[in-house]
Homo-oligomer: A and B are copies of this chain.
Amino acid sequence: MIYIGIDLGGTKIAAGITDDQGQILAEASTATIAERHYKDVVRDMASCALQALEQSGKLIDDVDSIGVGIPGVAENEGGTVIFCTNLGWHDIPLREELQKYINKPVFIDNDATVAALAENVAGVSKNAHSSIFLTLGTGVGGGIIMDGKPWTGAHGVATELGHITMEIDGIPCTCGKNGCLERYCSATALIRMGREQARLPPDSLMMARAGSEENINGKLIIDCAREGDPIAVKVFERYTKYLAIAVNTMISFFDPEMIVLGGGISMAGDFLLDAVKEKIPQYLMYKTLPYGKLELAVLGNGAGIIGAAMLGRVLKEGGTL
């Protein structure tokens, strides 16, 4: 059998066909144009999927199921999107609408969960019995995979790892709370820290390169830290300290076999990984016992399609764990 995976983003719809190991056979994409009526977006999701199917040379009868990764919260029993803030979606009957075009079983899950599943099926955490995936992007998303299946909680609101409290009464978060992990571990947080420090005399290499504060981005901060600029190093050390504490929270709570870092910041590669790994031991509860491996995600943008496609394969066997 083959599987359709659709990665629904705020700006782009990407659809692909995979085999049962999550290998992408063909893909197609189009702009989301989020301000449209949801039915128009879903029609384009279906048409991208059918275009990819045609390119793959396979037939609709070969398709087992359709999976969709969304930047929001879904409810798989009814096949609805509960919300999707970027798209302005609220209680959208996505399965029903998509099945008007392609009459196959439809599975929907959060994009970070989908990326976690992709790494578990075809990426760095392949065969790990339990893994936690953290996306370090504009925000921080999370996914938990246990025994090959996503864990999304008893009410579908689990793995909002970006919104666990890291600092009581800390920095206000976009979610309305204070001190969320996301405010310390996202790319946005790194940039905030960089801009704060770049202002301090003596002007840093970051400031010299960027010209002005608003041009300082995550890559620039990491590049300057890599080159040894003291202010950038200080910012990077602070960021990776927070990340090490966050990883330790994952260990002390759940102790997965592997923790995978994905998202934009993970592009810093071993420079990031080594800095975090070095700091973890000081935050461990049991300093002499083994703990989960920390690794970088390997699938990049393909994770959205692969993980979505694999939802059908892993969930058809009996729902979420």
| Chain A contact residues, CB within 8 Å of chain B | 73, 82-83, 129-130, 144, 146-147, 151-161, 163-168, 170, 175, 177, 184, 242, 245, 248-249, 251-257, 282-283, 285-286, 289-292, 321
Which single residue of chain B is at the shortest CB-CB distance from A73? B286
Shortest 7 CB-CB contacts between residues of A and residues of B: A153-B255, A158-B255, A154-B257, A160-B252, A164-B249, A163-B285, A155-B290
Question: What's the Cα separation between A158 and B132 when bound, in Å?
Answer: 13
- 23 A-B pairs with C-beta separation under 8 A: A82-B286, A130-B154, A144-B254, A146-B321, A151-B254, A153-B255, A154-B256, A156-B255, A157-B252, A157-B285, A157-B286, A157-B289, A158-B253, A158-B254, A158-B255, A160-B253, A160-B286, A161-B252, A161-B253, A164-B249, A165-B248, A165-B283, A167-B167
Please give, as numbers and ranges, the residues of chain B lying within 8 Å of A177 by CB-CB distance.
282-283, 285
A241 to chain B, nearest CB (A): 8
Question: What's the Cα separation between A147 and B308 when bound, in Å?
Answer: 25
Which single residue of chain B is at the shortest CB-CB distance from A252? B160
Which single residue of chain B is at the shortest CB-CB distance from A242? B168
A223 to chain B, nearest CB (A): 26
Which single residue of chain B is at the shortest CB-CB distance from A175? B285
Please give, as numbers and ranges, the residues of chain B lying within 8 Å of A254 by CB-CB distance.
144, 151, 153, 158-159, 253-254
- State whether B153 touches A256 (Cβ < 8 A): yes
A161 to chain B, nearest CB (A): 6
Which single residue of chain B is at the shortest CB-CB distance from A255? B153
Query: In the complex, which of the residues B144, B155, B184 contacts A291, with contact meaning CB atoms closer than 8 Å?
Result: B155
Please give, as numbers and ranges, the residues of chain B lying within 8 Å of A163 by CB-CB distance.
252, 285
Question: What's the Cα separation between A146 and B159 when bound, in Å?
Answer: 16
Which single residue of chain B is at the shortest CB-CB distance from A142? B253
- State whether A245 touches B168 (Cβ < 8 A): yes
What would 18 more interface pairs be, CB under 8 Å, given A160-B253, A165-B283?
A: A83-B286, A151-B254, A152-B255, A153-B254, A155-B289, A155-B290, A158-B251, A159-B254, A160-B252, A161-B252, A161-B253, A166-B166, A166-B168, A168-B170, A177-B282, A177-B283, A177-B285, A253-B253
Question: What's the Cα separation between A158 and B253 when bound, in Å?
Answer: 5
Please give, as numbers and ranges, the residues of chain B lying within 8 Å of A83 by CB-CB distance.
286
Question: What's the Cα separation between A317 and B282 when bound, in Å?
Answer: 37
